[in-house]
Amino acid sequence: MSLQKSLKERFFHALGFEVLAIAICAPLGAWLLGYSLAHMGLLTLMISLIAMFWNMVFNAVFDRAQRRMGFKRTLGARVVHSVIFEIGLILAVVPLAAWWLDIGLWEAFVLDIGIVLFFLPYTFAFNWSYDHLRSVLVARHLRKKALASA
C-alpha cells in the first residue's frame, strides 16, 4: 500500500461509496416519492454511475490540488471537498432526474436539493471515515515493512 492512491484504490473508494448510497437511496426514494422500487432503483443506478465517474475524476483533481497547494485534509478541507463535489453532481443529475421522472427542471432541482441534504453529510462522513481508515492501514503497512527490513 503506497501513500499515493492507485487507480484501483480510487475505483474501490468510489464503488464502496456508491453501493452504500444505492442501498440507502433506492428504497428511501421509492417510499418518499411513491415510485416503484425498480423505477427508483434504475434512477439511483444511473445517478450512481454518473457520481462514480465524477467521484474518481474529482478526487484525482482534489489530490493534485492538495499536492500543489500543500493543504492538509482537515475538517474544513473535507467540508469544502463535499460542497464542491455536490455542486458538480447537481449540474449532471437535475436534467437526468427531470427526464426520468417526467417532471420539470425546477421540480428536479428541488428534489435534488433534498438529495444533497442527504449526501452532504453522507459524503463528508464516508470520506472522513475512509481517510481515517486508510491512514491507519498505511501506517500499519509501513510499520510491517520497516520491521521486515530490520
**Sequential pLDDT tens for the chain (150 residues):** 566 778 888 888 888 888 989 999 999 999 999 999 999 999 999 998 998 888 889 989 999 999 999 888 888 988 889 889 888 988 889 999 999 999 999 999 999 888 888 888 998 999 999 999 999 988 898 888 888 887
User: How buried is residue 77: exposed, middle or buried, by Cβ count under 10 Å (0-12/13-18/19+)?
Assistant: middle
For the chain, the maximum distance between any two Cα atoms, rounded to a whole number of angstroms, is 65
> Residue 94's pLDDT is what?
96
Going from the C-alpha of 146 to that of each of 6, 47, 134, 135, 136, the distances in angstroms are 22, 43, 18, 16, 15
